[in-house]
Structure 1
Amino acid sequence: MAGVEDAMVTKLLVCLANSYKHGGRCVAGIDPETRTWFRPVSSRLGGEVYERDRQCPVGGEPRLLDRLSVMLSEHCPYEFQRENWLFEDHRLWMNMGRAGWDEACSLAQCPETLWLNGCDSDRGVNNCVPFAQKDEVRDSLKLIHLDEVGIKVSPRLDGWHRVRATFQYGGIEYTLPVTDSEFVERAQTSGTGEYGLGESLLTVSLTGKYKDNNLHKLVAGIVERSRQETGAT
């Protein structure tokens, strides 16, 4: 029997991730009232959200800090990804305006660390968690506030650019791939090299198991204070 948690519900989320995933997107946000993460997922094997699913009648593609009203039909956690909720097919997502920088900062969390550390993969630093330790993980999304972030843009064989974020959190160094769709698309025109961001909010996501038998940490959303204050798109 379905519990109260599984009842259909419409949630207002501050969008904090619109990230590339399996040919679709991973969209996630925080309910500003309960400060709870929600990741609307589809019934597809990977849960990815296609373009037709996520478009809003007003505003189109969800952007970070958009307020999204999404109808969710069932809580469907998968292992440590407890934030997953199945969204109701054929129900339009609604754009209810935008959150400001101060409100977004109020949603930032202060975790001691970004899950387990000490495991690196190629081009990364503290970017993995061994799959064998997945039972020590309790969630898959964190929003952190940083004073500065380094960005590295390097070429890939397919003509696109690889984008990584380097930063320090809790005295620990991290180098993580960036999958924020808008940020990655901007990086394609900026050219390769390294540059810095000022004060920013980062949504860090933990994936399922990769072929290397690790869970991987990704920067799924970047909100730069300077861009919000100037109204840059």
Structure 2
Amino acid sequence: MAVVKRILCLANSRKKSGRCVAGREALDNVPGPWIRPVSTRPNKEISKDERQYRDGSDPQVLDIIDIPFIQHQPYGCQTENWLLDANNRWTKVGQVGWVELLRYVENPATLWTNTRSTNKGENDEILQADADALQNSLFLIHVPSLKLRVFKSTDDLGNPKRRVQADFMYRNIRYALWVTDPVIERDYMDRIDDTYDLGESCLTVSLGEPFRKQNGEWCRYKLVAAVIQRESVKP
């Protein structure tokens, strides 16, 4: 029997052939724990058919959604994972603005551990063994200033690729993390390579799936799964 949970959607990000949707439970508009719907696929991504509303539209960040689940299914540090009941549709029941969004913001001392950086990133990598010891894989943070950098970078397989990177300070620590928010990617990939100042924003930061690097190490990367710019959201 399906268990329906109501969440505030805080990510609908790009992942393999589908999406990674995540949000915090919203009970009487009180912020609750994180929930990440997952499928039975090897990489747990959610397909378009599985996540769409009855009218065929796609969930948007800041939607309040009722989602049916089968059971809690944690995986390593991704303790927020719940197995989706793919036989039932999702239902949009509302949407929030900036003021209400700020109630869901968290204030961790740091974004997990900050001991490793990739060639083009900053504090963006965690060894798999260290990540597995963590208790969570999602945060919603507020930053007074955010820069997006669009440039060509060599990916983990050695292929040159244009990408969007979020560059920001959080608690006096600099982070440069790849963006997987498809709305932001679509917008800024259509622009010239440059650095863009978005100002005050909220960010959903996530630990991605385990990835084996060319040197054989297994790691998880910190990713910006959603960029919520204050100027783009209703009050």
Equivalent position of 1:19 in the other structure? 13
What is the one-letter code of the residue matched to 1:210?
A: F
Aligned to 1:4: none
Aligned to 2:227: 222
Alignment RMSD (CA, Å): 1.8
Deviation (angstroms), 1:59 = 6.9
Among candidates 74, 98, 103, match of residue 101 of structure 1: 98
Q: Which amino acid aligns with 1:78?
A: Y
Percent identity, aligned pairs only, is 36
Deviation at 1:159, TM superposition (A): 9.3
Matches within 5 A, 1:90-129: 90-129=87-126
- Please report how far the alpha carbon of residue 145 of structure 1 lies from its aligned counterpart in structure 2 after TM superposition: 0.6
Alpha-carbon separation, structure 1, partners of 2:67 and 2:146? 31
Which amino acid counterpart does residue 9 of structure 1 have in structure 2? V
Q: Deviations 1:172-229 (Å, cap 9, x if unpaired)? A: 1100000011111111222221011111110000123211222110000111110113
Q: Within 1, Cα distance between the matches of 2:152 and 2:131?
A: 32
Q: Return closer, same or farther for 1:37/1:227 CA change in 2, 3 Å cut-off.
A: same
Give the structure 2 partner of residue 3 of structure 1: none
**Whole-angstrom distance in 2 between the partners of 1:35 and 1:146:** 21
Moved over 3 A (4+): 155-161
SS in 2 for 1:44: coil
What is the alpha-carbon distance in structure 2 between the residues aligned to residue 128 and residue 83 of structure 1? 20
Partner of 2:82: 85
> How many residue pairs are counted as aligned between the two chains?
224
User: AA paired with 2:143?
Assistant: L
Contact 2:43 2:209 in 1 (8 A): no
For structure 1, the 5+ residue unaligned runs are 1-6
Task: After TM superposition, give the deviation of residue 136 of structure 1 in Å.
Answer: 3.2
Q: From the superposition, tell whether residues 103 and 200 of structure 1 become closer, same or farther in structure 2 (CA, over 3 Å).
A: same
Unaligned runs of 5+ in 2: none
2:176 is aligned with what amino acid?
Answer: T
Give distance in 1, aligned partners of 2:43 and 2:150. 27
Change beyond 3 A, Cα 1:211–1:132: same
- Residue 35 of structure 1: CA displacement? 1.7
